[in-house]
Amino acid sequence: MKPLNREQMAWRVARDIPDGAYVNLGIGMPELVANHLARDDQGDREIVFHCENGILGMGPLPKPGDEDFDLITAGKKPATVIPGAAFFDSATSFAMIRGGHIDIAVLGAFQVAENGDLANWSTGGNAVPAVGGAMDLAAGAAKSFVICEHVTKAGEPKLVEKCTYPLTGLGAVTTVFSDLAVIDVTPGGFVAREVIEGLAFEDLRKKTGARLTLRNDWRVLKAPALG
* Residue 227 belongs to some domain of the structure: no
Residue among 106, 108, 94, 207 at smallest CA distance from 165: 108
Q: Which pLDDT score is estimated for 39?
A: 44
* Residue 26 belongs to some domain of the structure: yes
- Give me the domain span that covers residue 103: 6-221
Q: Which pLDDT score is estimated for 1?
A: 79
| Total domains present in the chain | 1
β-strands 55-58, 159-160 pairing: unpaired
3-state secondary structure of 49: strand
Q: Which residues of 126-150 are buried (b: 16+ CB within 10 A; e: fewer)?
A: eeeeebbbbbbbbbbbebbbbbbbb
* Residue 226 belongs to some domain of the structure: no
Instruction: Provide the CATH number for the domain around residue 136.
Output: 3.40.1080.10
Residue 110 near residue 72 (C-beta atoms within 8 A): no
pLDDT tier, 131 (very low <50, low <70, confident <90, very high otherwise): confident
Of 52, 67, 114, 197, the active-site residue reads 52
Flag the least confident range among 5-14, 37-46, 64-73, 77-86: 37-46
β-strands 111-113, 104-107 pairing: unpaired
Asked whether residue 124 carries a pLDDT value surpassing 80, the answer given is: no
* Residue 187 belongs to some domain of the structure: yes
Active site residue 7: no
Neighbour count for residue 4 (Cβ, 10 Å): 23
Asked whether residue 74 carries a pLDDT value surpassing 80, the answer given is: yes
Q: Which pLDDT score is estimated for 43?
A: 55
Q: What is the pTM of this model?
A: 0.94
Instruction: Pinpoint the alpha helices (H) of the chain.
Output: 6-15, 90-98, 134-140, 201-206
Sheet of 111-113, strand order? 118-119, 111-113, 159-160
Residues 154-209 pLDDT 10s: 999 999 999 999 999 999 999 999 999 999 999 999 999 999 999 999 999 999 99
Q: Which pLDDT score is estimated for 193?
A: 98
Asked whether residue 83 carries a pLDDT value surpassing 60, the answer given is: yes
* Residue 78 belongs to some domain of the structure: yes
* Residue 18 belongs to some domain of the structure: yes
Q: Which pLDDT score is estimated for 38?
A: 57
Residues 30-54 pLDDT 10s: 999 999 985 445 557 789 999 999 9
* Residue 215 belongs to some domain of the structure: yes
Give the DSSP letter of residue 198: T
- Mean pLDDT (the chain) is 93
* Residue 119 belongs to some domain of the structure: yes
